[in-house]
Amino acid sequence: MVNFSLEGKVALVTGAAYGIGLAIAQAYAEAGAKIVFNCSRQETVDRGLKAYKELGIDAKGYLCDVTDEEAVKAMVTDIEATVGTIDILVNNAGIIKRIPMEEMNVEDFRRVVDVDLIAPYICAKAVIPGMIKKGHGKIINICSMMSELGRETVSAYAAAKGGLKMLTRNICSEYGEHNIQCNGIGPGYIATDQTAPLREIQPDGSRHPFDQFIISKTPAARWGTPEDLMGPAVFLASDASNFVNGHVLYVDGGILAYIGKQPK
């Protein structure tokens, strides 16, 4: 029988106070995993703990900026001592800065790359020794449409998410022999805080032009929801995907396959 259970597994989902990370962690808890998450602001950790409590999930939260390697190592050491060896890491924490490249200062560009690419390396490096010792592990990197496509104003984010796709393939290549599978999930356009500016109702009551654009570029003709990611995330964290490695599973309603709705 195919095993989708996460019973007895310890899952660290970074940045999982709300949005995509919270949905993935909720799905993991429902599949039997013990949930640990972290954010870089105490108020977000508190928001997450409240959300998990309301969901009846006994999650452990840490205040930890994923770009701070010493803090990440300390967090992983504490998790291993108090919860158990991390079986599943989801590199979900991420930021975006929408600025035309020629106007973007290098500090902003560097911060996006730090959070969206360097931090997944830092977190993976921190959990891999425990996974090797335990004889298995799952690392899931939250990629993006921008792992494949560009658009105006998101140069740093696209560079980082493109790099994250290749980091996913390289972790697969380097650690597959230790029964560690590293895959990506590439969400399409998902309705979360991060994309709220792209969906704002206009002063005249109409939908945001970008909102209408995405609807025309998505065969499903809708934005995704964090819940759309729950099943794919459980699949990639479970034994059901033990021979799936180095793959980015796009959960985009068909965007990458579609040229876009033809004008009437």
Contact partner at residue 156 from ligand NAP, ligand GCO, none, CB < 5 to 8 Å by partner kind: none
> Which one of the spans 61-69, 73-81, 127-135, 231-239 is the region binding ligand NAP (CB under 6 A)?
61-69
Judged by CB under 6 A, which of 6, 10, 13, 19 binds ligand NAP?
19
Cα separation, 45 vs 157, in Å, equals 24
Q: Which residue in 142, 158, 65, 166 sits closest to 104, CA to CA?
A: 158
Phi and psi at residue 85, to the nearest 5°: -60, 140
How many Cβ atoms are within 10 Å of 106's Cβ, its own excluded?
A: 8
Q: Which residue in 247, 238, 71, 248 sits closest to 145, CA to CA?
A: 248
Q: What's at 147, amino acid-wise? A: S
Contact partner at residue 142 from ligand GCO, ligand NAP, none, CB < 5 to 8 Å by partner kind: ligand NAP
- In the three-class reduction of DSSP (H, G, I as helix; E, B as strand; rest coil), residue 222 is classed as coil
The site that binds ligand GCO (CB under 6 A) totals a number of residues, namely 14
Which one of 28, 157, 189, 250 is the catalytic residue? 157
Asked if 145 touches ligand GCO (CB under 6 A), the answer is yes
Residue 67 makes CB contacts below 8 A (sequence gap 6+) with: 114, 115, 118, 119, 122
Judged by CB under 6 A, which of 36, 88, 115, 182 binds ligand NAP?
115
Nearest distance from residue 11's CB to ligand NAP, in Å?
15
Contact assessment for residue 125 and residue 141, using Cβ atoms and an 8 Å cutoff: no
Cα separation, 48 vs 51, in Å, equals 5
> Which one of the spans 102-110, 114-122, 138-146, 173-181 is the region binding ligand GCO (CB under 6 A)?
138-146
Asked if 170 touches ligand GCO (CB under 6 A), the answer is no
Cα separation, 45 vs 39, in Å, equals 6
Task: Locate 3 and state its tokens.
Answer: 């095993």
Contact partner at residue 98 from ligand GCO, ligand NAP, none, CB < 5 to 8 Å by partner kind: ligand GCO
157 is catalytic: yes
Touching ligand NAP, residues 124-183 (CB under 6 A):
142, 144
Touching ligand GCO, residues 47-106 (CB under 6 A):
96, 98
Cα separation, 65 vs 14, in Å, equals 9
Contact residues for ligand GCO, defined by CB under 6 A = 96, 98, 144-146, 151, 154, 157, 187-189, 194-195, 198
Q: Which residues are catalytic?
A: 157
Binding residues for ligand NAP (CB under 6 A): 14-15, 17-21, 38-41, 44, 65-67, 92-95, 115, 142, 144, 187, 189-190, 192-195
